[in-house]
Amino acid sequence: MLTAGAMVAVVEQLFADAKLHYGHGTSNARDEAAALVFHVLGLDHGAAPANYVEPVSDQQRIEVLELSERRMQERIPLPYLLGQAWFAGMTFVVDGRVLIPRSPIAELIEARFEPWLKADRVRSIVEIGTGSACIAISCARAFPEARVVATDISAAALTVARINVAKHGAEGQVQLLETDHLDGIQGTYDLIIANPPYVPREEMAALAAEYRHEPELGLVSGADGLDSARRILQDASGLLDADGLLVLEVGAQWHALEEAFPELAFTWPEFEHGGIGVALVHAADLHGLAGCD
Ligand SMILES: C[S@@+](CC[C@H](N)C(=O)[O-])C[C@H]1O[C@@H](n2cnc3c(N)ncnc32)[C@H](O)[C@@H]1O
């Protein structure tokens, strides 16, 4: 009898031989193989050791091998093949219209941005560039008293975002808005969050094939990768509450951001589960930014 554990071992070897690129939810062949097999078998990751002895039917084996083949031949990231990604302990529907959720901001959301924010006082949140709405919806879950406005310039992405808002029953809390960054947003907010595009244009061609399945609008942002980040730093100032916090992911561009804004006091939190380059800026510091109100 073929077990889940044996099936994972077979797929792990296939993936290792194919020299795939990871980074869309897993970081190695073993975890990627387990994610695929467990999904097809409908098994719970939390109970992983016990589930390794579960039997695999012929039909399940064929499905696993077909998906593995597409993963290897077409270099499609696994979450697109499965139509689902995990973020902050929740699942989100994903397809090629949205970036695959993987931001380390998930860890900050689960900690309710403490100790950088007085979490109990958070009533209003804006997310810029929501994609699948994974950040907006997990913020709504972490801050049940807050209303969340989530923008994206991509109508296609917002179609997927709407599916996820409905899936998580967050319609009463999360408002989706098609706009450029913060254009048209009014009022003041306790928390502004953005995981905007931040890949420098010329670096796009050098990215692994897996990334070319994702929308370029979700990845590239000008020559140095910081076009979006600059807009956000300028525009967020007028919308943040006096005690508010801006959370801005720029990944590997964190050093370039520090150089571009030497007058800003960025805090760079460390992450237990990996990831870099998420800047925290307090409203008081942002208000001092040259050129801001
Ligand atoms: C890196 S993805 C992040 C998606 C999602 N928030 C996440 O963390 O998985 C960036 C998102 O910003 C959106 N975007 C790009 N340019 C934008 C703009 N000018 N205004 C608003 N959103 C924009 C893209 O469509 C994409 O959905």
Shared domain check, 26 and 58: yes
Write down the pLDDT at residue 188: 96
**Degrees (nearest 5) of the Cα angle 266, 268, 273?**
160
The answer to whether residue 245 is domain-embedded is yes
Give the domain extent around 211.
Answer: 88-286
Write down the pLDDT at residue 290: 52
Residue to mutate, 228, 235, 250, ligand 1, most ligand atoms under 8 Å from C-beta: 228
What CA–CA distance (Å, rounded) separates 117 from 130?
21
CATH number of the structural domain spanning residue 212: 3.40.50.150
Task: Tell me the pLDDT band of 50, cut-offs 50, 70 and 90.
Answer: confident
The whole-angstrom distance between residue 266's C-alpha and the CA centroid of its chain comes to 21
Shared domain check, 190 and 100: yes
Say if residues 161 and 98 touch (Cβ distance below 8 Å): yes
The total of structural domains in the chain comes to 2
Residues in contact with ligand 1 by the CB-under-6-Å rule are: 99, 101, 103, 128-132, 134-135, 151-154, 157, 180-181, 195-197, 217-218, 228
The pTM for the full model equals: 0.96
For residue 194, the ligand 1 atom closest to its alpha carbon is: 6
Residue to mutate, 154, 177, 185, 193, ligand 1, most ligand atoms under 8 Å from C-beta: 154
Average pLDDT over residues 8-29: 96
Task: Tell me the pLDDT band of 47, cut-offs 50, 70 and 90.
Answer: low
Kindly tell me if the per-residue pLDDT of 11 is higher than 60: yes
Shared domain check, 100 and 21: no
- 84-87 vs 90-93, strand pairing mode: antiparallel
Write down the pLDDT at residue 288: 67
Shared domain check, 153 and 50: no
* Boundary-marking domain end, from 66, 82, 98: 82
Task: Tell me the pLDDT band of 293, cut-offs 50, 70 and 90.
Answer: very low
Q: Please name the residues in contact with 75: beta carbons below 8 A apart, sequence gap of 6 or more.
A: 20, 21, 208, 209, 210, 213
What CA–CA distance (Å, rounded) separates 137 from 289?
30
CATH number of the structural domain spanning residue 63: 1.10.8
Average pLDDT over residues 241-248: 96
* Boundary-marking domain end, from 82, 97, 115: 82
Say if residues 86 and 132 touch (Cβ distance below 8 Å): no
Peptide bond between residue 101 and the one before it cis (omega within 30 degrees of 0): no
Write down the pLDDT at residue 257: 97
Shared domain check, 16 and 32: yes
Q: Please name the residues in contact with 18: beta carbons below 8 A apart, sequence gap of 6 or more.
A: 72
- Considering only 5-19, 37-51, 59-73, which range has the smallest mean pLDDT? 37-51
The answer to whether residue 291 is domain-embedded is no
Shared domain check, 241 and 147: yes
Kindly tell me if the per-residue pLDDT of 82 is higher than 70: yes
Shared domain check, 114 and 60: no
* Boundary-marking domain end, from 82, 106, 125: 82
The answer to whether residue 118 is domain-embedded is yes
Write down the pLDDT at residue 190: 98
